[in-house]
Amino acid sequence: GRVVDALGNPIDGKGPIEYETRARVDVKAPGIIPRKSVHEPMSTGLKAIDAMIPIGRGQRELVIGDRQTGKTAIILDTFLNQKPLHEADDEKVKLYCVYVAVGQKRSTVAQFVKKLEDAGALKYSIVVAATASDPAPMQYIAPFAGCAMGEYFRDNGMHALIAYDDLTKQAVAYRQMSLLLRRPPGREAFPGDVFYLHSRLLERAAKLNDENGAGSLTALPVIETQANDVSAYIPTNVISITDGQIFLETSLFYQGIRPAVNVGLSVSRVGSSAQIKAMKQVAGTIKGELAQYREMAAFAQFGSDLDASTQRLLNRGARLTELLKQPQFSPLKTQEEVAVIFAGVSGFLDPLPLSKVRPFEDGLLRYLREKHPDILDRIWAEKQLSDELRGKLHEAISNFARSFA
């Protein structure tokens, strides 16, 4: 619940921090033997991500996009979404959050902290800030310092999530230091070991096996691109290090598709094994349907005489795209996401006009929370949709759909 600088000194004016242990900032990542493959979900509370680009505990998922595309917003929502887990008071599922701000404005960091505080999420979060006014060595060391804090949880059988916002600025600070030290510059004037800088940082995010306490550290590094150029030096490096990327686009953001996730270019390489079965069952088709929809939509611009099946595909795609939009600061619980996406893929939205999709979703969630909390609880407890549970959910949604019209 504190804000510290890159050396762990408090900068939030709440007095000194009592500490028990000190840790090295730059330790080696765990080897291959102590690790285990990623298998527990780390839910972000964002439908688009949890359904199609699922993230597991111990995964490294890059959030990449131009400035002002909502990269930090995704991280903030993910932090806020961990609140129900902390209220459940089960140490095995709690996810502690670390946010490392590198080279950002102090006002931006203060805003972020205030949002966390207002939502009651600061009590399980740590903020490490090396702002734009701090010297380059501080900006360079901050991610490692934050990582050392996250590792404390990982090595003690707990779970932590760390966000580096953003690694572009860290690389720039490192370049500045290297050039001043007269090291030979490489591509884009970055030093030759800038890849090693990021790889040794991100390799420390891991899922440990049961002999080592079964803890995990999940990393969400952020990279800011210039004009969607993913082939610049730092973006390609970090894409090759991480286990997938969430690609945000300005054009989508301005079309009102927020979170502005480009579903075609975003992948999660290990997350699907961490998705709960219920989500796999409902979201399995959605990615394919949206891919078909994008392809069709490109064609449909030319011709107007479309056959019925194409028309159906376009309608469904537009409704699903609308369904995956989500306002900021309102992350959903996994079982609620399952219910909403189930409504989408079962065709309940097809008869509705586009403008009614969001009201339908809000109403449906309110209806399920008030009238059928048992269904939501069962999805969460059983983690999969049996035929009987699917029938109940279908019936509940049809009842609501009738009253909605």
Claim to verify: residue 183 and residue 126 sit in the same structural domain: yes
Domain ends where: 233, 253, 275? 275
Q: Are residues 224 and 155 in the same domain?
A: yes
With cut-offs at 50, 70 and 90, classify the pLDDT of residue 54: very high
The answer on 302 and 260 residing in a single domain is no
Average pLDDT over residues 35-45: 96
pLDDT at residue 331 tops 80: yes
Does one domain contain both 283 and 261? no
Active-site annotation holds for 187? no
Indicate yes or no: pTM above 0.85.
Answer: yes
Confidence of residue 303 (pLDDT cuts 50, 70, 90): confident
Among the candidates 275, 302, 332, a domain finishes at 275
Q: What SS3 class is residue 98?
A: strand
Residue 266 CB: number of other CB atoms within 10 A?
21
Catalytic residue from among 67, 187, 269, 366: 269
Query: Are both 249 and 123 inside the same structural domain?
Result: yes
Between these two residues, 51 and 1, which has the higher pLDDT value? 51
CATH of the domain at 259: 3.40.50.300
Number of structural domains, the chain? Answer: 2
Same domain (yes/no): 48, 153: yes
Residue 344, domain CATH: 1.20.150.20
Q: Domain check: are 176 and 43 in the same one?
A: yes
Same domain, 164 and 31: yes
Task: List Cα–Cα distances, 165 to 85, 95, 128, in angstroms.
Answer: 24, 19, 10
Extended beta strands in 249-394, E state:
267-268
Q: What is the pLDDT of residue 288?
A: 87
The mean pLDDT of the chain is 95
Q: Do 215 and 306 fall within a single domain?
A: no
Domain stop point among 259, 275, 291:
275
Residues 143 and 202 in one domain: yes
Q: Measured between alpha carbons, how far is 346 from 277 in angstroms, rounded to an integer?
A: 17
Host domain of residue 111: 2-275
Is the pLDDT score of 305 beyond 80? no
Distance set, CA 325 to CA 67, 227, 256, 320 (Å) = 20, 23, 8, 9
- Say whether both 297 and 241 belong to one domain: no
